[in-house]
Amino acid sequence: MITNSKTAFEVLKVALPLGLIGDVLLRAKPWGLNALLFNIAFVAAFAVLLRRHAPQRLNASTVALMGVQIFFAAMFVWRDSSELLFADTLAIIAILSIQLLPQLGVTQRLAGAFHYVIGLLWSGLSAFLAPFALLLTDIEWSNLPNSGWRKHAIGVARGLAIATPLVLIFGGLFMAADSEYEGMIQRAFNINFDTVFTHILMFSVFTWLSAGYLRGAIISPLGATIVDVVSDEDLKIHTARFSDVKDEAGEPPVTLPADRSVVEHLNISDPPNNDSETQPEGGELTNYYKEKWSWPDIKNSVLPKAFTLGTTEVVIILGVMNLLFLSFVLYQVPYLFGGMDLVQNTPDFKLAIYARRGFGELVAVSALVLPTLLIGQWLIRPEAKRTQSFFKVLSGTQIALLFVVMASATQRLVLLTGELGYGMTTVRFYPMVFMIWLAVVFVWFGLTVLRGHRNNFAWGALWSAIIVLGATNLLNPDASITKTNIVLAEHGREFDVYYNSRLSDDALPVLVSSLGSLRTEDQQSIMYPVAQRYCEMKNETDLRSWNYSRSSAKALIESDNELVLEIGDCAAWGHRLNEEGGD
């Protein structure tokens, strides 16, 4: 059996237990401890396959991303906020996508945002389609050793695979034809066919997706050039060997520029010894780079010159954008410095319209500027130094104006959620977190892209997102939102009982412990959702769904004897809640 077939067979052997683990663990809802255990098993399987078949891939970047994946999976055990867990899920998917980039010839640390998007698409295609290649082409079934226990195991597996659908079809027909026979079969086997079907379905789905992803991560795709992560010491050895080479005249070859990335160095083969080929100063092989296609370091030289940007276009595009931003900033200055006094003293000025309408739009503006600048900088040819200089100045001005726009958005949120505002919600909280991350990314943009180190931008932006999302998990957003709103209620603002009582169980301990500080009618209104949630928690006995937040909320309620007595019988509360919902 050839090496590729052995590797594919090992991927299949790893995917099968992962499918079983996924079926056993993840069928229990809501997800909690089971999500963490499955991710640990998946990461362990991935690491074992890498160690056996691609040990050079088990570097600091890969291991760090594995650790981050387990961290975000652990949040399913700690937090209960649906918005937060959705963001954690997206983070896990993004990490899995980036782990496949080395298979596309791109190192994780030097990849760009475009490579991340391609990695996401490739990981999705691998998960859904790669099992076909694994089963039909990678594994050479005819070459599998056909002796000993494997001979019998393969025979048993093939026999069961053929017999099972036949038994189900004919058995189902017999059961449909005779009710007494159906009853006898059900009594004999005591099988719930709906449950059996869901087990088979979930096992198949998790096995299929795991096999596809791991196949894409371990077995090289056709036509891909695998570029391993190279250490600084390896690069020195590579450079030293290159410097020992002499041309026909006994002279050392043209040296490569020091500012080239590792991937660029490794993608350069020995240039043809052609005296007619002109070399610019510094020894850069300009003609060679124009003709050389490098997937890990995509340059705009692949585009016709008409599709790139010159000095005139850059000045016009960024100049007009800067004028637009400047006009908005000048108009916002009074509001930035006037604050609530300006809102109160301006006739017909409604805070709700000003804050609600403006905050979302300004967050969208902040998010759109980043891809605009990234694409604009990529469309400028590297040799156009003058154009690059204009871009740096104008984009720096753009970012400075953008920070004022962000300050305006922040001011609107402060007014909206302050003492005279309407309180905090998840719709206001998470865009604010997103904008904080954008501010960090724009600073990183200035330190990398504008200084000629574009290859470092995406990796830093990724880790800034990981840190911001990790910090948000530690902050416990739903609890912070409830605390903010309770403080506002203590200062005389109206407390939205319906909204705050329907946040996740992360907020329930804050809500229960603050009942005494709320108005009597608010306390009575809160009892409905609190009782409902408590009764749901009592029914959650599956250890696979265990979650620290839900467990703590349940323990807090049970520690308050008066509250437990007031809740009373869960069945009665459920009937009462249904009647309230019907009204």
Structure tokens at 23: 């079926």
Is the separation of the CB atoms in 430 and 90 below 8 Å? no
> Residue 301 — pLDDT band, cuts 50, 70, 90?
confident
For range 348-370, the mean pLDDT: 69
Lowest model confidence (mean pLDDT) among 116-130, 211-225, 474-488, 513-527? 211-225
Residue 23 has pLDDT above 90, yes or no: yes
pLDDT score at 303: 75
Rg of the chain over CA atoms, in angstroms?
A: 31
Least confidently predicted of 349-353, 481-485, 522-526: 349-353
Amino acid at 6: K
What pLDDT band is residue 169 in, cutting at 50, 70 and 90? Answer: confident
339: left (phi over 0), alpha (psi -120 to 50) or beta: left
Dihedral of the alpha carbons of 554, 557, 558, 564, in degrees to the nearest 10: -130
Asked if residues 72 and 117 have their Cβ atoms less than 8 Å apart, the reply is no
pLDDT digits (tens, 9 = 90+) for 37-59: 999 999 999 999 999 998 999 99
Mean pLDDT estimate for the chain: 79
Report the alpha-carbon distance of residue 31 to residue 550 in Å, rounded: 11
DSSP characters over 40-51: HHHHHHHHHHHH
**Looking at residue 44, what is its pLDDT?**
96
Please state, in angstroms and rounded to a whole number, the distance separating the CA atoms of residues 358 and 365.
Answer: 11
In angstroms, the CA 356 to CA 340 distance is: 15
Predicted local distance difference test score (pLDDT) of residue 215: 92
Number of neighbours of residue 246 by Cβ within 10 angstroms: 10
pLDDT of residue 344: 57
**Cα(79)–Cα(35) distance, integer angstroms:** 12
Mean pLDDT of 501-527: 85
Q: To which H or E segment does residue 346 belong?
A: none
Q: How many residues does the chain have?
A: 583
Residue 380 phi, psi dihedral angles, 5° rounding:
-90, 130
Show the tokens assigned to 429. Answer: 């909280």
Rounded Cα–Cα distance for residues 504 and 482 (Å): 10
Whether residue 87 has pLDDT greater than 60: yes
Backbone angles phi, psi at 439, to 5 degrees: -60, -45
> What is the rounded distance in angstroms from the CA atom of residue 23 to the CA atom of residue 18?
9
DSSP string, 95-122: HHHHHTGGGGT--TTT--HHHHHHHHHH
pLDDT tens for residues 203-254? 999 999 999 999 999 987 643 334 444 444 444 444 444 445 454 555 555 5
In this prediction, residue 234 carries a pLDDT of 47
Give the residue, 137 or 152, on which the prediction is more confident: 137
Helices and strands counted in the chain (H then E): 23, 0
Name residue 148's amino acid: G
What is residue 265's predicted lDDT score, i.e. its pLDDT? 47
Compute the distance between CA of residue 458 and CA of residue 462 in angstroms, rounded to an integer: 6
| Coil, helix or strand at residue 543 | helix
Q: Measuring CA to CA, which residue among 357, 426, 372 is closest to residue 402? A: 372
Residue 48: its pLDDT value, please?
94
